[in-house]
A and B are shown apart, each in its own frame.
Chain A
Amino acid sequence: MSRLYVARNPRAAARSLDGEMMIMSGRDSTLFTLNRTATILWQSADGTTPLDEIVTRKICPEFEVETEVALRDAENLARELASHEIMQLSETPIETSTKRSPLAGDAR
């Protein structure tokens, strides 16, 4: 089974507000806020860490959820975020041009 890689779309704008991400789509300026799970996914989406690894290392320990369920939910979430062009999905690692971490700005 092939692995899935996720990366933040560099055309999106993002900032963390009180631990939750505000994201603006680069396609149509639609604004989203991400819940805690989606925020972890966004922050971990570096293009090189496979989605299943993000789930097992970052999401499962945080939310006490079965890996299989968490992975299915994370994949659905990643596909939804990709449909709004705020995330990129690929079966191979994704080269990203973003030089800086979007973690900057958790102003709390």
Chain B
Amino acid sequence: MSQLMLEISDKAMALNIPLSVQVDLTYRCNERCVHCYLDHHDHGEMTTAEIKHLLEEMAEAGVFILTFSGGEIFLRKDFFELLEYARDLTFCVKLKTNAVLIREREAARLRDLGVESIQISIYSHRPEVHDAITLVPGSLKRSLDAIRFLKSQGLKVVIANVLMTGNMQDYPGVKALAEELGVECTLDPTVTPMMDGNRSVLELGVDREALRQVFRDPSLIGDVDAFCAIAAPPGEDALNSIPCSAGHTTCYVSPYGDVFPCVQFPLPTGNVRQQRFIDIWRYSDRMNDVRSIRLKDLTTCTSCTHVSSCTRCPGLAFMEGNMRGPSSQDCEKSFVRTGVPSANMLSKQRAAANLVQIRALPVLATA
């Protein structure tokens, strides 16, 4: 993030302005990614008019960066109408898509409408691996064709790759592919639990050894020693800082109008069909509860070695049962990165050691 963007974020936070909002236009999708956290059935998406009204409210509230995501956004027949409306309201618009439905004509339209960037999910450079994750034969070719169409229009494209056991060996190939295409590439080892709380998809995530390999790959990390170093104990300022921007300068709106602190933080704080967006943002008790959390308030984590350097996600912690508690997935990352177990891991080890081992008693001879 640029220094100017940091300054703007600080100012927005001080003024309680939602600088950046992700709106999922639909949960419907034309792919069936094995790790996806969404229910793809339509349970009553907002209409075109409802979304336009929401966009007006968000512009009035000061939202600057608007991310349209899904589901697959191009499945909405009114997608370009909504995009045009958003750009008329002078939002900085970013898109997240699998790009399967983007051809030359759509790419040209996106360019004309001044979209800032398009993030596209690519899981492997090999069709047999990528298509086995999306469960759609031919999807890699379609997505890569789309990237070329978008690039030919001069648009900024970012490849997003989620690291799982099924594609672990292919991230260098995706990175090389991104370089060949002249686009950015991001790699995320986090698999998110389903929004209904089902955690079975987490089994698709990479194991400790694979994560260790990624965290020690200088082509991804840069300075490995600095990245893997144990952070100095936090000062008072660090302990008074916020865990992340969720609820402070960012939030998320579902296709049904529900407002959450973040796409990865399924704590409902209100619905734009019943309340004004700004009223939910400013006055929701739950949003203000999220907003009140500082690092010093975290149970377990406050005393952890990694508290000031951990990527702890409050949303993942919430899905584990306590938004002030630890997020085990992030504990694992901190441990793999530094070799030092987190306070949460140590606490679990102690609890396990304290369990009484029940052994079968020798059979007593009966008299």
Q: Report which A residues bind B (CB closer than 8 A).
A: 10-18, 22, 24, 26, 29, 31-33, 98-100, 102, 104-108
Contacts and interface: CB of A to CB of B under 8 A. Distances in A.
Given A13-B87, A22-B64, A24-B92, 19 more contacts: A10-B114, A12-B90, A12-B114, A13-B91, A13-B114, A15-B92, A17-B64, A18-B11, A26-B114, A29-B117, A31-B4, A33-B8, A100-B90, A105-B60, A105-B89, A105-B90, A106-B62, A107-B15, A107-B17
Interface string B1-25: 0101100100110010100000000
Given A15-B90, A24-B92, A107 B4 contact: no
A32 B7 CA distance: 11
Central interface residue in B4, B8, B11, B114, by most chain A CB within 10 Å = B114
A92 B2 CA distance: 37
A40 B114 CA distance: 23
A99 B88 contact: yes
Given A13-B114, A98-B88, A31 B2 contact: yes
Interface of B: 2, 4-5, 8, 11-12, 15, 17, 56, 59-64, 87-93, 114, 116-117, 156
Nearest to A99: B88
Contacts, number: 73
A74 B91 CA distance: 25
Given A26-B114, A33-B4, A13 B11 contact: no
Contacts of B15: 17-18, 107-108
B63 A15 contact: yes
Nearest to A13: B92
A22 B11 CA distance: 12
6 contacts: A17-B8, A17-B11, A31-B5, A100-B90, A104-B59, A106-B62
B117 A22 contact: no
Contacts of A12: 90, 114
A8 B359 CA distance: 78
B8 A11 contact: no
A13 B93 CA distance: 8
A105 B59 contact: yes
Given A12-B114, A105-B62, A17 B4 contact: no
A108 B2 CA distance: 24
Given A31-B2, A31-B4, A33-B4, A15 B11 contact: no
Listed residue (B8, B17, B89) with the most chain A CB atoms within 10 angstroms of its CB: B89
B8 A13 contact: no
Contacts of B2: 31
Contacts of B11: 17-18
A104 B57 CA distance: 10
Nearest to A20: B11
Given A17-B8, A22-B8, A99-B88, A29 B116 contact: yes
Nearest to B117: A29
Ranked nearest first, the 7 interchain pairs of A and B with the lowest CB-CB distance are A107-B62, A13-B92, A11-B114, A15-B64, A14-B90, A26-B114, A104-B59
Contact of A107 (B61, B88, B91, B116): B61
A14 B114 CA distance: 12
Contacts of B116: 13, 24, 29
A96 to B, nearest CB: 11
A102 B90 contact: yes
Contacts of B8: 17, 22, 31, 33
Contacts of A18: 11, 15
Contacts of A32: 4
Nearest to B278: A107
